[in-house]
Amino acid sequence: MDQTEAPFADILAFSDGLFTRDDAALADFGEAEALALLDSGEAILEAWLEAHDQVPTDKKVEGFRLLALHKQAARGNPSFNACRETCRELVYHYNLIVLEPSDVDRGQRIRLAAMVLKHLALFVGGKLEESGLGDFCCSSRPIRQTELLDPHQNV
Amino acid sequence: MAEGKHKKVAYYPGCALEGTGHAYNRSTKAVGKKLGLDLVELENWNCCGAMEVKNVDPKIQTYLSARNLSIAEDMGFDTVMAPCNGCYHNLKKAEYDLEHDGKSVEVNARLSSKAGHTTYEAGKVETIHALDWIKDSVGEEGITERVKNSLKGLKVANYYGCMYTRPRHIFPEKDKGPGSESTSKPHFMDDLLAAAGAENVEYPLKTACCGGAHSLSDSDTSTKLVLNLLETAEACGADVIATECPTCHTGLEMHQVRAEKVLGRKTNVKVLYFTQLLGMAMGLSPNEVGVNENFSDSRDLIKEKGLA
């Protein structure tokens, strides 16, 4: 289980690096760094879309491209909704970090945002690795969907 | 939501609660008894199709679950309670399919006729989760009134998993404003445990994937996902992760051990079913709610918090 070989190794290293920093080390964490959290989230979803021969959208949903990318990725693929709230949590934490720079819990916000980003990377990375095997997600489509003609006709 | 509903409901434990999730079965029944609620198990129930059968045909989940709903109807119930997220999800999916998909209705009727049982028709039986059951029957006030050992001082991360709220369209009763459950920020478990005195921490991964379905196909992914859930809970200050799904619960417990063995990452947060926490708060012993059956050893914490 070498994480450096996993998909999104750079993003996982980025999130782990943030998570292990204490408040003092996060004092200089500004809007640009917060934006890097969102950019990383977008990069994860872009990779998923490109792996499925789709062009990642430049549109925004509720002001965020990350949410538009999620919506695009989930279209026709219900299992991808399992990371919908993870994306929304990332946006929520980004807002808190940027809009409340004097929050006494700012360090904690940044660390939690890093963990949310990490979950997104692990979830999508896991799905990418498994794509050759079929989709094992709890709410996924059937593996042999393309082989199914009309499953009802012989009942 | 009006309290006093669901005093007597049909009970569909599902396969997991007879196996790996037996502690959830035990604690659900014990809490029900303590609350004066009546659970009547479905006679001769069958598997809901869980997560696997959809790889043959996703509609099989609908037909299998329709049979369980028809049993509830035959037993004279208009409500069936399923504590497992997978069972709950599939029963809700069956309700939805049989209301909106003519082909499903037609095939279900043919299968039911061949099998010789009542054909379930949409709208006859409502499926609820164990969280709805307690929330609607006694509510937060009813819990608070019955607390003998407050959960005060116990910091809890409430983890709902991904199937309790997804896909949104099969849960028409959720997202209906104040009093209803939210699909994006579920809170029923938070509400009930807070009523028992627990201090809920803000947990940003409460509906995130636990990797449950990856367990056999890609254990490493499951371990990494679970480790992240556990480490995040600890970062939020939680002593315990409260669960309401046997698949999530077992995954959290088993991969907590695996994360330590394979990745060398030890976490100390405990994993308990919300029914175990509620039961102990109402004076039931740890054994009466199946704590001894858990893989996650929370006995020291339970003693420390005065729950035993």
Where exactly are the structural domains of chain A?
5-149
The predicted structure's pLDDT at residue A147: 45
ipTM score for this prediction: 0.91
The CATH architecture one would assign to domain B8-129 is Up-down Bundle (1.20)
For residues B262 and B223, is the Cβ–Cβ distance under 8 A? yes
List the end-to-end C-alpha distance of chain A, in Å, as a whole number. Answer: 45
Alpha helices in B49-187 (DSSP H): 59-74, 85-100, 102-115, 130-137, 139-146
CA distance B167 to A74: 11
CB contact under 8 A, B235 and A155: no
Distance CA B258, CA B88 (A): 28
Q: Which of A148-152, B194-198, B262-266 has the lowest mean pLDDT?
A: A148-152
State the pLDDT at residue B60. Answer: 93
- B209 neighbourhood in chain A, CB within 8 Å: 82-83, 86, 119, 123, 137-138
What is the distance between the alpha carbons of residues B71 and B29, in angstroms, rounded to a whole number? 20
Q: What is the pLDDT of residue A101?
A: 85
Instruction: Answer whether A148 sits within 8 Å of B228, measured CB to CB.
Output: no
Residue B236 or residue A80, greater confidence: B236
Cα-based torsion angle of the residue sequence B105, B109, B110, B114 in order, rounded to the nearest 10 degrees: 150
Cβ-based neighbours of B224, under 8 Å, separated by 6 or more: A1, A3, A6, A122, A126, B211, B263
The predicted model scores a pTM of 0.92
Task: Calculate helix-pair angle for A106-130, B219-235, nearest 10 degrees.
Answer: 170
Question: What is residue A148's predicted lDDT score, i.e. its pLDDT?
Answer: 47
A 71-90 near B (Cβ less than 8 A): 78, 81-86, 88-89
Structure-token pair, residue B135? 């929330």
Asked if the Cβ–Cβ distance from B59 to A82 is below 8 Å, we say no
pLDDT, residue B216, reads: 66
Give the integer Cα–Cα distance in Å for B32 and B54.
32
Residue with tokens 């598997």: B47
The full set of domain ranges for chain B reads 8-129, 139-304
| CB < 8 Å to B229, chain A | 119
Query: What is d(CA B303, CA B296) in angstroms, rounded to the nearest whole number?
Result: 15
Distances (CA, A) of B152 to A99, B172, B194, B305: 33, 34, 9, 8
Residue B115: per-residue pLDDT:
95
Lowest mean pLDDT among A84-98, B46-60, B269-283: B46-60
CATH class of domain segment(s) B139-304: alpha beta
Q: A37-76: per-residue pLDDT in tens? A: 999 999 999 999 999 999 999 999 999 999 999 999 999 8
pLDDT tens by residue, B118-164: 999 999 999 999 999 999 999 999 999 999 999 999 999 999 999 99
Average pLDDT of span B240-249:
96
